[in-house]
């Protein structure tokens, strides 16, 4: 006899029975009831909300049994451990259930509440899970003593490398050393004269050393590179071979100042030589035309193009190194890399300034994951401009913007309520909060 969950998946039950299922009122066992509710919550648009409400108040004993049973279906365990659905009393059982994936625990660690953090640090399984501990380090609610404890666990003998999904987490013995500094051969440059090319290359080198902070790597940068390669080895392996591809395209990346007509017209054409004046015309006193005053030179596109070409020649590991150790200009390009593990590396760069983060928070041509990562770093959230730019950025995910809005000042709430670029939900809530704060100020 087919189970009820199979009939629901096949859409064989009438509407009234589906409503009973969403209320948890079917005559099936507790384990199958939870499986049905989770399926409806995840996949059914009509009864999904009702199923989620039922699960939120589901019998604690039955929920605890499902949370601790290694044979519970993965979809159910993923639902119960999700930060949006987690019931605190189930957390200890979920942490020790070997069928709960460490990837899900890592997601929880990033946004766990203070009480959940304390439970996680008491869990024997998590104290030995280096990947989850690394995610927990990014939690904004983490206290200093907890951060010190995590650092001790990750560097001491208590932590052993564990399997990471889908690729095993590397150990200190199996981890390859960070790749050496790469000597990059630029791709073919636009067809310009040889003299211009060599001059441009010299200017690029000089600009890199003076204006763009390049130079010998510092110990802090080397440590950042090693740590990033270690903690993101699985992601790097998965993205290996992906070329650089800027979100928005090359013209948007370099700007219309560099390509006023077309990228193909990037080469600079030599000015025509002045026509010679006939000797007899000069002798007869004919007016001699004065040489035209040269117009102001537009920005030299070759230098910027060479930076992009340098990045184009690098593989994923080379671009990560450049993101962590490169110049401000290189970071501004790599933050728009369509390869997530490269773009995220920019946010870990030791030289990354507050001004750069403010600009990134307002950019519409970066990955959503980059914008989600910014609020997870306490240093960035201390900067009010970063918070304001994130809320005002139409690219910012709706849930993130709504959560940050409570930190805005009255005038910024007013400005955002009139900003047609952001979503209507953001505008309405900004207007509501603006009016509330105005009323509170008037009462005082």
Hey, is 29 helix, strand or coil? Answer: coil
pLDDT at 195: 39
Helix, strand, coil shares of the chain, percent, nearest 5, are 60, 0, 40
Per-residue pLDDT for 51 more than 80? Answer: yes
Per-residue pLDDT for 236 more than 80? Answer: yes
pLDDT at 107: 87
The whole-angstrom separation of Cα 129 and Cα 186 is: 42
Please give the average per-residue pLDDT across 13-21, as a whole number. 90
Q: What is the pLDDT of residues 128-153, one digit of tens each?
A: 888 889 888 888 788 889 989 998 98
Please give the average per-residue pLDDT across 148-171, as a whole number. 58
- Residue whose token pair is 């390509």: 259
Per-residue pLDDT for 84 more than 60? Answer: yes
The whole-angstrom separation of Cα 242 and Cα 228 is: 18
CA dihedral (311, 317, 321, 323) positive or negative: positive
Q: Which stretch of 212-221, 232-241, 249-258, 428-437 has the lowest confidence by average pLDDT?
A: 249-258
pLDDT at 351: 93
The whole-angstrom separation of Cα 192 and Cα 179 is: 33
Please give the average per-residue pLDDT across 40-59, as a whole number. 90
pLDDT at 204: 41
pLDDT at 166: 42
Please give the average per-residue pLDDT across 174-189, as a whole number. 44
In DSSP terms, which residues pair with 337 in a beta bridge?
Answer: 246
pLDDT at 245: 86
**Would you tell me how many other CB atoms lie within 10 Å of the CB of residue 127?**
17
Given pLDDT bands bounded at 50, 70 and 90, which one contains residue 252? Answer: low
- Residue whose token pair is 């989850």: 132
Q: Tokens for 364, please give them.
A: 């519409």
Please give the average per-residue pLDDT across 226-237, as a whole number. 88
The whole-angstrom separation of Cα 5 and Cα 76 is: 13
Per-residue pLDDT for 362 more than 90? Answer: yes
Per-residue pLDDT for 353 more than 50? Answer: yes
Please give the average per-residue pLDDT across 333-359, as a whole number. 93
Please give the average per-residue pLDDT across 315-329, as a whole number. 92
Q: Tokens for 65, please give them.
A: 């049994």
pLDDT at 298: 54
Per-residue pLDDT for 76 more than 90? Answer: yes
Q: What is the pLDDT of residues 195-214, one digit of tens each?
A: 344 444 444 443 444 344 45
pLDDT top residue among 249 and 441: 441
Hey, is 271 helix, strand or coil? Answer: coil
Q: What's the 3-state SS for 272-283?
A: CCCCCCCHHHHH
Please give the average per-residue pLDDT across 77-105, as a whole number. 92
- Residue whose token pair is 């310009």: 192
In this prediction the pTM is 0.46
Per-residue pLDDT for 393 more than 80? Answer: yes
Q: What is the pLDDT of residues 399-430, one digit of tens each?
A: 888 889 888 999 999 999 999 999 898 999 99
The whole-angstrom separation of Cα 217 and Cα 196 is: 30
* Geometric angle at alpha carbon 252, from 246 and 256, rounded to 5°: 150
Ramachandran assignment for 28, one of left (phi > 0), alpha (psi -120 to 50 degrees), beta (any other):
beta
pLDDT top residue among 240 and 205: 240
Q: What is the pLDDT of residues 375-390, one digit of tens each?
A: 998 889 889 999 999 9
Per-residue pLDDT for 159 more than 60? Answer: no
Contact 75, 102 (CB under 8 A): no
pLDDT at 156: 65
Please give the average per-residue pLDDT across 254-260, as a whole number. 49
Per-residue pLDDT for 302 more than 70? Answer: no
The whole-angstrom separation of Cα 33 and Cα 4 is: 9
What are the structural domain ranges in the chain? 4-155, 221-257+300-443
221 burial (CB, 10 Å; 0-12 / 13-18 / 19+) is middle
Ramachandran assignment for 80, one of left (phi > 0), alpha (psi -120 to 50 degrees), beta (any other):
alpha
pLDDT at 285: 52
Percent of the chain with pLDDT over 90: 37
The whole-angstrom separation of Cα 244 and Cα 319 is: 8
- Residue whose token pair is 């006193």: 285
pLDDT at 333: 92
- Give CA torsion, residues 113, 115, 118, 124, to 10 deg: -90
pLDDT top residue among 168 and 108: 108
């Amino acid at each position: 006899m087919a189970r009820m969950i199979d009939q629901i998946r096949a859409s064989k039950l009438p509407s009234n029975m589906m409503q009973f299922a969403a209320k948890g009122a079917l005559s099936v066992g507790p384990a199958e009831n939870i499986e049905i509710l989770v399926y409806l919550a995840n996949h059914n648009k009509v009864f999904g909300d009702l199923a989620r409400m039922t699960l939120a108040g589901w019998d604690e004993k039955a929920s605890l049994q499902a949370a601790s049973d290694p044979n519970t279906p993965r979809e159910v365990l993923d639902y119960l451990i999700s930060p949006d659905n987690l019931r605190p009393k189930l957390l200890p059982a979920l942490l020790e259930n070997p069928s709960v994936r460490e990837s899900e625990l890592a997601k929880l660690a990033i946004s766990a509440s203070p009480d959940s953090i304390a439970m996680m640090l008491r869990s024997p399984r998590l104290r030995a899970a280096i990947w989850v501990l690394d995610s927990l380090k990014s939690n904004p609610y983490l206290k200093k003593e907890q951060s010190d404890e995590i650092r001790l666990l990750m560097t001491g003998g208590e932590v052993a490398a564990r399997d990471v999904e889908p690729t095993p987490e590397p150990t200190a013995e199996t981890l390859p050393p960070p790749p050496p500094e790469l000597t990059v051969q630029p791709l073919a440059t636009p067809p310009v004269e040889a003299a211009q090319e060599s001059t441009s290359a010299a200017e690029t080198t000089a600009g890199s050393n003076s204006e763009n902070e390049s130079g010998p790597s510092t110990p802090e940068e080397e440590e950042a590179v090693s740590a990033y390669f270690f903690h993101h080895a699985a992601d790097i392996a998965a993205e290996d071979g992906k070329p650089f591809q800027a979100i928005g395209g090359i013209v948007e990346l370099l700007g219309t100042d560099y390509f006023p007509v077309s990228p193909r017209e990037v080469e600079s054409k030599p000015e025509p030589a002045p026509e010679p004046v006939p000797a007899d015309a000069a002798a007869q006193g004919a007016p001699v035309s004065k040489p035209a005053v040269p117009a102001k030179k537009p920005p030299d596109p070759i230098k910027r193009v060479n930076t992009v070409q340098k990045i184009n020649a690098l593989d994923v590991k080379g671009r990560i190194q450049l993101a962590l150790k490169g110049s401000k200009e290189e970071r501004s390009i790599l933050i728009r890399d369509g390869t997530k593990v490269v773009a995220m590396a920019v946010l870990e760069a030791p030289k990354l300034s507050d001004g750069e983060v403010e600009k990134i928070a307002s950019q519409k041509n970066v990955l959503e994951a980059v914008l989600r990562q910014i609020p997870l770093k306490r240093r960035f959230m201390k900067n009010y401009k970063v918070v304001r730019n994130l809320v005002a950025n139409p690219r910012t995910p709706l849930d993130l913007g709504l959560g940050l809005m409570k930190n805005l000042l009255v005038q910024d709430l007013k400005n955002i309520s009139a900003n047609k670029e952001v979503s209507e939900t953001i505008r309405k809530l900004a207007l509501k909060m603006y009016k509330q704060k105005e009323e509170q100020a008037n009462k005082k």
